[in-house]
Amino acid sequence: MRRPGWTRLARQPKDGNPAPPSSRRDRIATRLALLTVVGIAVAFILSNNMQFLMPGPLASAHGSIENCSTCHTNSGSGKLSWLHGLIAGDRHADSTACLGCHKMPDTAFNAHSASPDVLKRSTDRLAKIAAVTPAPHAARAQRAAFPTHDVAMRGLYCSTCHQEHQGAKFKLSTISNEQCQSCHVVKFDSFDGDHPKFENYPFRQRTRLVYDHEGHFGKHFPEVAKKDPARRIPETCATCHNSGKDRRVMGVASFEQTCTSCHLDQITGKDRVSGPKGVAFLALPGLDLATLKKKKATIGEWPSASEAELTPFMKVMIGRSERGRAVIKAVDRLNLQDLSRANDAQIKAVAALVWEIKGLFYALIKGKASDVLADLTIDGMGRLSASLIADLTASLPSDVVIGAHQQWLPNLGAEMAGRMEARAPEQGGWTTTIKESRVAVDSGTASITGSGRREAAEPRTEVESSGKAATDPPDSAARKAEPASAKPSKETAAADAPPRTKAADQTDDLLFPTPEELRATKSGAKDTAKEAAPRSADAAPDHGQPTAPPAAAPTRADTAAKPQTLAAPVISIKSDVDPENWAEYGGWYRQDYAIFYRPTGHKDKLIYSWLSLSGPKAPKGTKSPAAAVFDALASKEAQGSCTKCHSVDDLGGKGRVVNFTPASVESKQGRFTQFVHEPHLSVMDNRGCLTCHSLEKGRPYLKTYEKGNPQSFVSNFGAVKKDLCQTCHTSSMARQDCLTCHKYHVEGATTPMMDTKNPIE
């Protein structure tokens, strides 16, 4: 019988006896196996890459990846380099490669990519629920046979849940309920099954805006409607609320669209009944001059009528240097207007404070605020940008400070010039800033000329700080000037100087000096410059001219006499409006011995920037300058009334935060539950939003904002019940898998811009 052709592959034995079939079979099998090995080797050699070893095509999002080593980091680009993967290396190397494109926090490989603290809290909470919910048998078996705790503790791989090579259409982000239940000690068969009831959902965290719905609906709106029927009152929820661009978070419409008609005047201070309508920014604090004189404190000239207090902003500005901080600390608990019990060290600190304040004014006149405050930091915060400083000073016009100087401290220039020279080696702080700019002091008028300002307009005599007169300490200069001064007790550097009075025709408002004022200032300055020129020349020892007496008494006398007219320029127009009301729509004004800032409206930059910057450095109860600023601007009675609506979160040791930014998808990161409003908007019944959010009267909503804990919250609305969701989310209707409402990566994962270098040749 003829053997089938395929059996001829088997070799015939030499003795002529047919080989047993098993032997022939094995020979065929061996040759076929060898052929397979050769075939694979040929495929290796002929192939361009390792694609033929792939277990399946990549998902479409990864379709452009051609090199295995892009994800499989141990696999090189060589034909056999993939074998390197067999050698142990970094367990998370491949998962770390994923993070190259999918940006995640450092806790990426933790369960839920959450921090250990968050995980612990969540686990504790779930464990409580688990204690009363029996686990199914499958879950118990799984826990016994394959415990997940150790796996999770070692750090999860991206591929634990996201299995690649499943085809182009495969959705990598799909996570099954069972995968969620790998770790969760409580296993729910479905949402409408054993899923626990909601606990005060969605009010686990209070809203960022403080808005008492009950108060507005029940009291404010009816009152407003009664008082002014023309005023617009929200008619529907949608007047104020919309689900935003991302259609996820139910946001609030802008201030201008909603609250402005009733609340703008509260911000600008128009509705304020008592207290200043502006924020005292710079001030000459009232001092106990009698005591200071008695203790022979050297402070130069100082208005005795001031009852102002040292502003918190000045504390921050002065406290920018080590010396300034020491001064602020030393005087912080002193009553500056009653120093009778102060010891010598404290008196000395008060004197130092005076010179710091004078230095601040001097520097702000000499240079731009952004330059002067360039090294401003808030409790160790990094260097602030020029634009931020501009915000922090609301672009403080120089004329405001100059006006203050002219009226309050007319001899500031001479005093500072003299002090600088006398104490240059030991002075830091403002002196450093001042020395950097060219000091131009009109010795005759003691007016300060800012560098780059007015030089072209008026000739003046510039006295270098090495001038003899200037080298005298201010107190000695004051003493020398005293006998010759026309008003020695008022104007010169005597601690007991009586208050300087304003010229009758002088306005406090220097925001917009009148042309007359400017002309008066200029002409005065010009005259003084002319008068000062020869003296100045005389005072310069290196000019070979006869040296003036060390303390030219007549000159000092002149100086003391003249500032009164120069500092208080003649204003021919008398304003009928006080400065505070003059700045009705916001801005700077000067009143008494303080420079005030009145908020310009919602989102006022000065108040916003100070609150934002000082908050994180101002833990509740601390006495730091930053805390003083924050407390001043965030108090109930604070100008701007920011915290009337914007809640303040107390972050414990990390300070406080005013919630200026509205809730967004980003702000909800870190939460395990998500809710998208949009798909639910069309399924509400005729009660609209009230279908889910029922307004409940008498709840202590506002009380929850009295403390800083954002987690403590009682809403005006009742909690959403699980039963309500179950009307749709059942096995026969809407989805009810875990990821419908929960998210795994609580901190999210983003795809950053690629690092593309500019094509510069």
The secondary structure element, H or E, covering residue 613 is: helix 605-614
Report d(CA 227, CA 430) in Å as an integer. Answer: 54
Residues 6+ apart with CB under 8 A from 56: 165, 166, 167
Shortest distance (Å) from residue 4 CB to another protein? 8
CB of 164 to another protein, least distance (A): 10
Q: Show the tokens assigned to 333.
A: 């608990």
Report in angstroms how near the CB of residue 1 gets to another protein at its nearest.
6
What is the residue-wise DSSP string for 273-288?
-SS-SSEEEEE-B---
**160 or 432, CB closer to another protein?**
160
CB of 40 to another protein, least distance (A): 6
CA-based angle 55:57:60, to the nearest 5?
150
Least distance (Å) between residue 118 CB and another protein = 19
Picking from 717, 720, 688, 697, the residue whose alpha carbon sits closest to that of residue 235 is 688
Beta partners for 695? Answer: 717
Smallest gap from Cβ 670 to another protein, in A, equals 22
- Asked if 281 contacts 610 with a C-beta cutoff of 8 angstroms, the reply is no
E-strand ranges in 140-266 read 241-242, 251-252
Continuous segment of H or E residues that includes residue 649 = strand 648-650
Burial classification of residue 275, based on how many CB atoms lie within 10 Å of its CB (0-12 exposed, 13-18 middle, 19 or more buried): exposed
- To another protein, the closest distance from the beta carbon of 157 in angstroms equals 6
SS3 labels along 358-419: HHHHHHHHHCCHHHHCCCCCCCCCCCCCHHHHHHHCCCCCHHHHHHHHHHHCCCHHHHHHHH
Q: Are 191 and 728 in contact (CB under 8 A)?
A: no
CB of 95 to another protein, least distance (A): 7
Task: Give the tokens for residue 203.
Answer: 């009010």
CB nearer another protein, residue 6 or residue 345: 6
| CB hemisphere CA count around 462 (13 angstroms) | 10
Give the interface with another protein as residue ranges (CB under 8 A). 1, 6-7, 21-22, 24-26, 28-30, 32-33, 36-37, 40, 52-57, 68, 71-72, 74-75, 82-86, 88-95, 138, 141-142, 145-148, 151-152, 156-157, 159-160, 163, 167, 178-179, 181-183
> Smaller CB distance to another protein: residue 165 or 543?
165
Query: Is the CB of residue 506 less than 8 Å from the CB of residue 569?
Result: yes
Tokens 């980091």, residue located: 73
- Beta carbon nearer to another protein, 123 or 437: 123
Judged by CB, which is closer to another protein: 88, or 273? 88
The distance of closest approach from Cβ of residue 9 to another protein in the complex, given in angstroms and rounded to an integer, is: 10
| Shortest reach from residue 62's CB to another protein, in Å | 14
Phi/psi of residue 395, each to 5°?
Answer: 50, 50
CA 19 vs CA 2, 29, 49, 693, 702: distances in Å: 15, 15, 44, 88, 98
**Nearest CB to another protein, comparing residues 45 and 86:** 86
Instruction: Tell me whether residue 84 or residue 247 sits nearer to another protein (CB atom).
Output: 84
Q: Closer to another protein at the Cβ: 95 or 600?
A: 95
Residues 6+ apart with CB under 8 A from 409: 284, 301, 302, 303, 358, 361, 415
Cα separation, 662 vs 465, whole angstroms: 53
Contacts of residue 730, defined as CB under 8 A and 6 or more positions apart, other chains included, come to: 191, 192, 736
Nearer to another protein, 141 or 724 (CB): 141
Q: Smallest distance from the beta carbon of 737 to another protein, in angstroms?
A: 14
Q: How far apart are CA 281 and CA 595, in angstroms?
A: 6
Minimum CB distance to another protein, residue 316 (Å): 52
Q: Which residue number, 553 or 739, has a Cβ lying nearer to another protein?
A: 739
Query: Residue 96 and residue 157: Cα distance in Å, rounded?
Result: 9
> Which residues share a beta bridge with 463?
441
Cβ 122 to another protein, closest distance in Å?
Answer: 17
3-state SS track over 178-204: HHHCCCCCCCCCCCCCCCCCCCCCCCC
Smaller CB separation from another protein, 159 or 709: 159
| In the complex, least distance from residue 741 CB atom to another protein, rounded to whole angstroms | 20
- Specify the residue, 42 or 138, whose C-beta has the smaller distance to another protein: 138
Q: Which is nearer to another protein, 190 or 337 (CB)?
A: 190
Instruction: Kindly tell me which of 37 and 683 has the beta carbon lying closer to another protein.
Output: 37
